[in-house]
């Protein structure tokens, strides 16, 4: 089995019985994503794990997680995958936090090499409306981001240069979101139905979504299961199954659900907080 994982910011570190620091979950940090990679290599002998880096080094990878156009990041990942001979027979993908929706875009846009299983760990598939807490060393960046989002998430400037704006989903300004969201509105078929996206996503054998029950980072947390706030207000939420996206089956999710391809997992804990035991019992079986 081949596993690919991508990770991104806005997360406290993963609890993995290794020494902790407060560094962010950048691609090759040995204490966060590096620990996950090492753990998988220990648990599944012979597995090939590719940790995606967006940029030439860890510093660039961190900055790009905040400031590089997501569509450009997805294109870079697609070309990395296409050039890796070890992936040509297909691979399983695991995305942490915002990395999960970026990997879903990879599945929808780049069907070769084929992604078999996509595991979304705390991903925000309907975006976010709020930035409640941004832990660790990035908190000063988060203050800047919050101000930019509140003042004009859908302005051209903010959309092009702020990653979090590209999955900012304002239920009170639905028309603005649909018209100006450069990334999320496109991959969620908000403007038109792209039949290729729909066909490609349905090529997945499994799409596993993990929700953290005490998540204090993702708002609303139901986005981790592809639900969101009902349009026109910011209090009541709806599940994926209650949404228009599902009822009209604009992305193929209803068909996937009926075919048993969607898996909804919930776990106690805050954003990306889980134990090695939980990971091994609940996620590893999808990677073997």
**278/71 Cα distance (integer angstroms):** 33
Confidence (pLDDT) at 239: 98
Express each pLDDT in 47-59 by its tens digit.
888 888 776 766 6
Q: How confident is the model at residue 36 (pLDDT cuts 50, 70, 90)?
A: confident
Q: Are 162 and 180 in contact (CB under 8 A)?
A: no
Judge whether residue 205 has pLDDT over 90. Answer: yes
97 is catalytic: yes
How much is the pTM? 0.87
**46/175 Cα distance (integer angstroms):** 49
Strand runs labelled E in 142-283: 206-212, 228-229, 237-238, 262-267
Identify the active-site residue in 8, 125, 169, 271.
Answer: 271
Express each pLDDT in 232-250 by its tens digit.
988 899 999 999 999 999 9
Identify the active-site residue in 51, 215, 223, 243.
Answer: 215
**201/253 Cα distance (integer angstroms):** 8
Strand runs labelled E in 153-205: none
186 is catalytic: no
Identify the active-site residue in 97, 181, 223, 243.
Answer: 97
Ramachandran angles phi, psi of 36, nearest 5°: -65, -45
Q: How many CB atoms lie within 10 A of CB 155?
A: 14
Express each pLDDT in 157-183 by its tens digit.
889 888 888 999 999 889 999 999 999
**32/63 Cα distance (integer angstroms):** 17
Percentage with pLDDT > 90 across the chain:
54
Q: Residues 15, 16, 18, 24: is their CA dihedral positive or negative? A: negative
Mean pLDDT of all residues in 251-256: 98
């Amino acid at each position: 089995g081949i596993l690919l994982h991508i990770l991104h910011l806005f997360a406290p570190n993963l609890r993995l019985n290794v020494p902790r620091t407060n560094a962010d979950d950048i691609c090759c940090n040995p204490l966060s994503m590096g620990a996950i990679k090492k753990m998988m290599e220990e648990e599944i002998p012979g597995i090939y794990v590719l940790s995606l880096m967006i940029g030439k080094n860890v510093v660039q990878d961190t900055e790009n997680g905040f400031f590089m156009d997501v569509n450009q990041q997805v294109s870079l990942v697609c070309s990395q995958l296409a050039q890796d001979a070890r992936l040509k027979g297909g691979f399983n993908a695991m995305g942490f936090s915002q990395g999960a929706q970026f990997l879903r875009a990879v599945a929808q846009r780049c069907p070769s090499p084929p992604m078999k299983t996509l595991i979304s760990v705390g991903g925000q598939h309907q975006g976010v409306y709020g930035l409640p807490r941004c832990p660790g060393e990035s908190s000063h960046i988060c203050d800047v981001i919050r101000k930019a989002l509140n003042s004009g998430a859908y302005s051209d400037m903010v959309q092009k240069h702020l990653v979090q704006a590209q999955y900012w989903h304002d239920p009170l300004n639905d028309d603005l979101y649909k018209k100006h969201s450069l990334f999320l509105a496109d991959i969620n078929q908000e403007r038109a139905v792209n039949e290729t996206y729909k066909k490609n996503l349905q090529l997945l054998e499994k799409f596993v979504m993990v929700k953290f029950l005490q998540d204090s980072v993702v708002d609303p947390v139901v986005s981790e299961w592809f639900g969101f706030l009902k349009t026109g207000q910011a209090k009541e939420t709806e599940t994926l199954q209650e949404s228009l996206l599902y009822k009209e089956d604009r992305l193929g999710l209803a068909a996937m659900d009926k075919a048993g391809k969607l898996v909804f997992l919930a776990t106690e804990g805050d954003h990306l907080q889980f134990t090695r035991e939980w990971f091994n019992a609940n996620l590893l079986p999808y990677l073997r």
